[in-house]
Amino acid sequence: MSSSTTPTLQPFPEDWERALAIVAHPDDIEYGIAMAVARWTGQGKQVAYVLATSGEAGIDGVPPDEAGPLREVEQRAAGEIVGVDTVEFLGFTDGIVPYDLELRSALAAAIRRHRPEVIVTINHELTFGPADSGEAVLNMADHRHVGLAALDAARDAGNRWIFTDLLDEGLEPWDGVRFVGISATSTPTHAVDVTGHLDAGVASLDAHRAYLDGLADPLDVRAMLTGFARAGGEGLGVDLAISFQVIRV
Ligand SMILES: [Zn+2]
């Protein structure tokens, strides 16, 4: 239902053609962003995914050498459901991705390859949830490092004098990134109306079946995503929406 309160979030700009989602792990995109991706690909926009790791340390009962390939397959399936057929894995080690120049360079290279106008990623703050609530949950180191590096790489990608070895690989500077949208932050500014895309979002997260089955506490995927989207919808004054903090690059 539509909220009767005054919207606090602005509509996410959609006057662009190409977006790149950059995250640490398989499934990070599916906790909300995928619903926005479903809307965007439905509009004819191109969206590609770049993942720093293959999520190989993410299933307690499955060793990394089995879990990594399994989770790549699940991530590709999750992308297909929302109209994404380009999914890249950069091969960083799951769980211990450092914030360093190697990571920034690898992300800058990905941005130069894909030439997006918009980058989306997830919260890189210390916590999920309001920091002053006493209910905040520690955010994973990989999310903190990859999210911050994605922001920095959005700018690095446009500077020919940073990571000059990328030029040797034929990757010319790309300064066309207009802004980065960060989902699940404590300080959202914009939101994407995803009314009509909830089912695609649920199916996309459900595609991570081995991961979900390996969780100690079963997750009610539909209830969780509905909750996220209702909260965003309230901010935008629509039924369902996914919120982002927009940062200009
Ligand atoms: Zn993650």
Q: Nearest-CA neighbor of 244 among 193, 198, 171, 199?
A: 193
φ/ψ (deg, to 5) at 3: -80, 145
Helices 141-156 and 101-114, axial angle in degrees (round to 10): 60
Query: For residue 222, how far is its CA from the centre of ligand 1 (angstroms)?
Result: 19
At which residue do the structure tokens 């809307």 appear? 39
Query: For residue 156, how far is its CA from the centre of ligand 1 (angstroms)?
Result: 24
pLDDT tens string 107-164:
999 999 999 999 999 999 999 988 788 889 999 999 999 999 999 999 999 999 999 9
Query: For residue 242, how far is its CA from the centre of ligand 1 (angstroms)?
Result: 18
Which CATH class, in words, describes the domain spanning 16-248? alpha beta
Query: For residue 5, how far is its CA from the centre of ligand 1 (angstroms)?
Result: 33
Query: For residue 49, how far is its CA from the centre of ligand 1 (angstroms)?
Result: 14
Query: For residue 134, how far is its CA from the centre of ligand 1 (angstroms)?
Result: 22
Query: For residue 23, how far is its CA from the centre of ligand 1 (angstroms)?
Result: 7
Query: For residue 70, how far is its CA from the centre of ligand 1 (angstroms)?
Result: 16
Token readout for 163 is 């990571």
What is the residue extent of each domain of the chain? Answer: 16-248
pLDDT tens string 58-111:
999 999 999 999 999 999 999 999 999 999 999 999 999 999 999 999 999 999
Q: Is the pLDDT of residue 210 over 80?
A: yes
Query: For residue 170, how far is its CA from the centre of ligand 1 (angstroms)?
Result: 31
- Beta pairing, strands 118-122 & 18-23: parallel
Query: For residue 142, how far is its CA from the centre of ligand 1 (angstroms)?
Result: 7
Q: Provide the whole-model pTM.
A: 0.96
pLDDT at position 7 is 86
